[in-house]
Structure 1
Amino acid sequence: MFQLPFPVRDANAASGSDQFGNLPEWDLSDLYTGEDAPELKRDLQWLESECSSFASDYEGKLADIDADGLLTCVLRNEKINGIAGRIMSYAGLRYYQLTTDADRAKFMSDMQEAITVFTTPLVFFTLELNRIDDAVLTAHFAANTDLARYKPVFDRIRAMKPYQLSDELEKFLHDLGVVGDAWERLFDETIAGLTFCIDGDELNIEGTLNLLTEQDRSKREAASRELAAVFQDNIKIFARVHNTQAKEKEIVDRWRGMPSAQAGRHLSNDVEPEVVEALRSAVVAAYPKLSHRYYDLKRKWLGLERMQVWDRNAPLPMENTRTVSWAEAEQTVMEAYTAFDPRMGELAAPFFSKGWIDAGVKPGKAPGAFAHPTVTDVHPYVMLNYLGKPRDVMTLAHELGHGVHQVLAAGQGEMLSSTPLTLAETASVFGEMLTFRKMLDKAETKEQRKILLAGKVEDMINTVVRQIAFYDFECKLHAARAEGELTPDDINALWMSVQAESLGECFDFMDGYETFWAYIPHFVHSPFYVYAYAFGDGLVNALYSVYAEGDEGFEDKYFEMLKAGGSKHHKELLAPFGLDASDPKFWDKGLSMISGFIDELEAMED
């Protein structure tokens, strides 16, 4: 199955305006010029024919072909992935520009179904690869160095060997994938179609979430209560989607013999369960010195006895809420990237000038932000919902980091360029850190420095603490669903069980906040994705510490790490920097950076 991109930031953003300047829009013609483009028709015909030929040429024969023959087979499979990926990238990106458009939704669905039908005969490929004896495969790698380059791909495929089903069942599950996609589309279209009425204005979800960062507390409260009311009105749909998706996953996992609901995600992330558990344990243990301590500080700054949920992302009282134009946002990020290394600025520049970014907020556009790599012979596309908030500048820096990473990794080819989610956040979070440090260096007053530090701490808490709380919620959700159907109230209770623990004792929770799980796309699109954010933030904090200490040749080593794409394990990628994510103390190094920022904020109170 070819997965579509989806919003990847738990960011607050909302509806567009001319005040930001000339916001860029995507030019998708580098993929196809339209639904009726002759190149698209040609590629669909080629894909159908090549998938059939591939199956005819190789099914039942992989165990007997030599190293050169296996390389030819792999290269043909890679080209199939590239053409299918191009088609689905085009269909998916058009859909996310306007999810409420029936024609775009139909086109995407038709493309997905066609590609599923075409590629079902190829299910044998990974199954038969896993039946090749280890010694035979090792001999093939020794005999052909070009084939040996794909060893990381083979390793990831063979990691699934213990959980492989019969050929017939695997084909059945492949075909059934379009049904799961339909539930994801129901979620996307429901979210995009929601309207929220605040002070007589009708807003979409982005516009409403954006009000949670307003200086006026009454506006934040109004937005929170309206979010709760609309989520409650649609809670049965959201509960049905989550119940169905979690049950489908439980059934597939049970048939495969997966040891846990999380195991599949760990395998796809090429990360050991004990490493994830070490990360999770380190973050939970740090709640008191991170989120609890920071929010208690913020409570005092806001002059409150108790914090409410609508105060979590509030600006500081002394903060002059201003609109950042698109031109200023571009200049800020480009300056930070170029100052780190001119090569990074050169890689980022085309995103702004060639239609690789879609920045404006428009009715029906998907919420959030993402960078989609498309295919290695085209280029990535970045989606934003830009509203001129300082945090939107950080989101631009984040997604542009993804884009630069994807451009650099493209040299690995279609099968080796894609990084596991845990490493996919490296360049994005590093890009944010570069931008933040550049802005901090420019701070002219203690007050400006305090505002910037507080904003960065909040972003890091949202990326680390909040995402681990999300992960715990998902663990509880999937465990509970395995025991039976969950009512909306059941899911609400699971959500609330992680909120107080992660946010701290200074918070009260309004009636209705228990439904706020409903709009998080990761839970539906990619279960257990969320810990990758905490992984990436911790990794980058440790990495940035090495950079700040003046590690010789850091920039070159950093570029080599990004160029590696998915061709190396996290242990091998981090070794040149003297870092090891499997060491439990590694996570403390990253968390101590957040704690250090809070120390500085506390010192400012004296």
Structure 2
Amino acid sequence: MFHPTCLGDPRNHDISKGSGGSTGEALPQWDLSDLYAATDDPKLAADLDRAEAEAQALEAEAAGKLEGMSGDALAAVIERFERVEEILGRAVSYAQLRFSGDATDSENGRFYQTMQERATAIGSHLLFLTLELNRLDDAVLERKLRESSALAAWESWLRDLRVFRPHQLSDEVEKLLHEKEVTGRSAWNRLFDETVAAMKVRVGEEELTVSAALNKLSDRDRSVREAAAKGVSAAFGGQVKLFSLITNTLAKDKEILDNWRRYPRPGSSRNRANMVEDEVVDALVSAVREAYPRLSHRYYSMKAKWLGMERMQHWDRNAPLPDEDDRTIPWLEAKERVFKAYNAFSPELASVGQRFFDNPWIDVPPRPGKASGAFAHPTVPSVHPYLLLNYHGKSRDVMTLAHELGHGVHQVLAADQGYLRSGTPLTLAETASVFGEMLTFRAVLDAETDPVRRRALLAGKVEDMLNTVVRQIAFYTFETRLHDARRKGELSAEQIGEIWMGVQTESLGPAFEFTPDYSVYWAYIPHFVHSPFYVYAYAFGDCLVNALYGVYQSGAVPDFQAKYLDLLRAGGTLRHRELLAPFGLDASDPGFWRKGLDVIAGFIDELEQPVAGAAA
């Protein structure tokens, strides 16, 4: 529980958008000293020693005694538990952010591993608490909650903890799994990260980082896109045995653990963590897959015609459109666009966002060794979040800034709930980020009077939405098929590639033909390694925001902005049904997902209309 989640932009799970060029500005970099001054900061060592002493004391005083405690005494134990967990979260956050800043620095890797090992060892003394709480009878816990207002404040956290009650193992097994994590999944994660960070991709005469090479896939020159695509294929093809081993090992590891915990299927544990029912996820996935023909298939057929092609290759998917404005957008202009959009919706929302620009909380410039893509890291409530970007000055980079700033603002507003209650399930964590994007896009679109540029903006937004919804559900389908197939035996790189090519063909449609070397492109998507079955959360968030924004535009809900800020402040204390109820929305309604998908379809309808002066 001491490892906060980094929340990223779905556009960056496949390629990092932008030209790969520089804006020529001095771009801001983060200063992590609000966490710790350095890896040898005496405060870090003192914090860990204090956490260890407090964890040992808590175990000695409370283990085996929770059932007999009064509600007030139990609340006090949970408060002490939270304080220790926050110290561990702070230390591991610092190590993770240093590692993300440069994974090629061996000292950063060593320090990150050391912090994880130390935090895991200290956390072993705290493990008794959650295990014992889940063993309490419902009637016993309900009585304690009624009798103690202090414990009642923890009711939402206890509710979410007890979701995992049917899947809890014996104390000895739970402790073993906890302590072996640092030599299990997290070690494979580190191997993946360090391998990708150290890789070089040849594109023409250049040797580029993976991130820079992927950026070339959106270059206006088709020959550059093709060279980049072939370079990426060659680089990952050369390492495909290693990536296949990582994938096979983690999938088998997950199967073993899921069987022990009695999860009905591979995605169930993620759904429990997201506090969403398997059936709700199934409804989302089915709705999106049924919509492939009217969404991605239809759009990409139009794009092929705009590009003057009968069929596109995979390296054409993110090609700029003929009418697209490909000028470099300075960082200061990007900040201004996003701030204005946030401020027009809610000055309070914008003022929270402004803190990230006034302080060194964002790391913006691309550089060797830095994590690709973008993410927001909440760290701990007593400090503040940090954002990581790779800014190349393109319009979609502006949208990435709007997305990550939404996460950051959400994390700041939820911080008052405290360390244990501020964390939001992934499905709802994407609400603020995608809503921030929508605010920014609508502001730019509404200000554009030229019909040709307006259509280019609209097409760019459709591509982003397809990447967020269609692409991520295709990734989810890939994971599901891969994990199901892995249960029958280890998969070869060729078998994994066949699954990948199948879902790409199905989701993107007949406008594409895929060269065989595209079959290795699954290998660099980090969510398959770091957080299996995470990706549908982006589609969940996008469809949810489309419906939510529709309510906002309609004016049907009084004081919408205040209710929206309350939604963000709630953190993890409320479930999706409770959070959406003030807006008249219900994610369990089968029609809910169609509302969100209809927004994308409506944009495509508009793009189908001829525009004078636009490319045919």
Return closer, same or farther for 1:82/1:15 CA change in 2, 3 Å cut-off.
farther
> In 1, distance between residues paired with 2:574 and 2:261?
26
Aligned to 2:387, the other structure's residue is in SS state strand
1:86 is aligned, of 85, 90, 100, to 90
The answer to whether residue 163 in structure 2 is matched with residue 156 in structure 1 is no
C-alpha deviation, 1:318, in angstroms: 2.1
The answer to whether residue 535 in structure 2 is matched with residue 515 in structure 1 is no
CA contact (8 A) 1:369 1:383 kept: yes
Return closer, same or farther for 1:18/1:517 CA change in 2, 3 Å cut-off.
closer
C-alpha deviation, 1:2, in angstroms: 3.5
> In 2, distance between residues paired with 1:14 and 1:82?
37
> In 2, distance between residues paired with 1:117 and 1:201?
45
Q: C-alpha deviations, 1:463-511, integer Å up to 9, x for none? A: 0000000000000111111111111011101111111110011110012
C-alpha deviation, 1:14, in angstroms: 6.9
The answer to whether residue 140 in structure 2 is matched with residue 136 in structure 1 is yes
Q: Aligned residues, how many?
A: 606
Return closer, same or farther for 1:116/1:14 CA change in 2, 3 Å cut-off.
farther
C-alpha deviation, 1:119, in angstroms: 1.1
Return closer, same or farther for 1:360/1:381 CA change in 2, 3 Å cut-off.
same
Q: C-alpha deviations, 1:79-104, integer Å up to 9, x for none? A: 01110000011111011100000111
The answer to whether residue 583 in structure 2 is matched with residue 577 in structure 1 is yes
CA contact (8 A) 1:266 1:272 kept: yes
Return closer, same or farther for 1:3/1:237 CA change in 2, 3 Å cut-off.
farther
**Match in the other structure for 1:39:** 43
> 1:227 is matched by which residue type in structure 2?
V
**Match in the other structure for 1:165:** 169
**Match in the other structure for 1:109:** 113
Matches within 5 A, 1:233-312: 233-312=238-317
C-alpha deviation, 1:16, in angstroms: 7.1
Matches within 5 A, 1:277-426: 277-426=282-431
> In 2, distance between residues paired with 1:79 and 1:121?
14
Aligned to 1:130, the other structure's residue is in SS state helix
CA contact (8 A) 2:545 2:596 kept: yes
> In 1, distance between residues paired with 2:228 and 2:492?
26
> In 1, distance between residues paired with 2:133 and 2:578?
25
CA contact (8 A) 1:21 1:327 kept: no
> In 1, distance between residues paired with 2:231 and 2:4?
30
> In 2, distance between residues paired with 1:249 and 1:91?
25
Aligned to 1:70, the other structure's residue is in SS state helix
> In 1, distance between residues paired with 2:147 and 2:132?
20
**Match in the other structure for 2:566:** 560
Return closer, same or farther for 1:486/1:7 CA change in 2, 3 Å cut-off.
farther
Segments of 5+ residues of structure 1 without an aligned counterpart are none
Aligned to 2:207, the other structure's residue is in SS state strand
Aligned to 1:371, the other structure's residue is in SS state strand
CA contact (8 A) 2:387 2:405 kept: yes
> 1:549 is matched by which residue type in structure 2?
S
CA contact (8 A) 1:410 1:417 kept: yes
C-alpha deviation, 1:444, in angstroms: 2.5
The answer to whether residue 222 in structure 2 is matched with residue 213 in structure 1 is no
**Match in the other structure for 2:207:** 202
> In 2, distance between residues paired with 1:385 and 1:304?
31
Return closer, same or farther for 1:599/1:17 CA change in 2, 3 Å cut-off.
closer
Return closer, same or farther for 1:40/1:161 CA change in 2, 3 Å cut-off.
same
> 1:2 is matched by which residue type in structure 2?
F
> 1:313 is matched by which residue type in structure 2?
N
C-alpha deviation, 1:105, in angstroms: 0.7
Return closer, same or farther for 1:571/1:484 CA change in 2, 3 Å cut-off.
same
**Match in the other structure for 2:32:** 28
C-alpha deviation, 1:245, in angstroms: 0.7
Matches within 5 A, 1:457-472: 457-472=462-477
> In 1, distance between residues paired with 2:45 and 2:76?
26
C-alpha deviation, 1:21, in angstroms: 1.7
**Match in the other structure for 2:3:** 3
Matches within 5 A, 1:58-97: 58-97=62-101
* Aligned sequence identity (%): 54
**Match in the other structure for 2:150:** 146
> In 1, distance between residues paired with 2:221 and 2:6?
31
> In 2, distance between residues paired with 1:487 and 1:2?
35
> In 2, distance between residues paired with 1:411 and 1:144?
21
Aligned to 1:62, the other structure's residue is in SS state coil
> 2:528 is matched by which residue type in structure 1?
F
C-alpha deviation, 1:384, in angstroms: 0.3
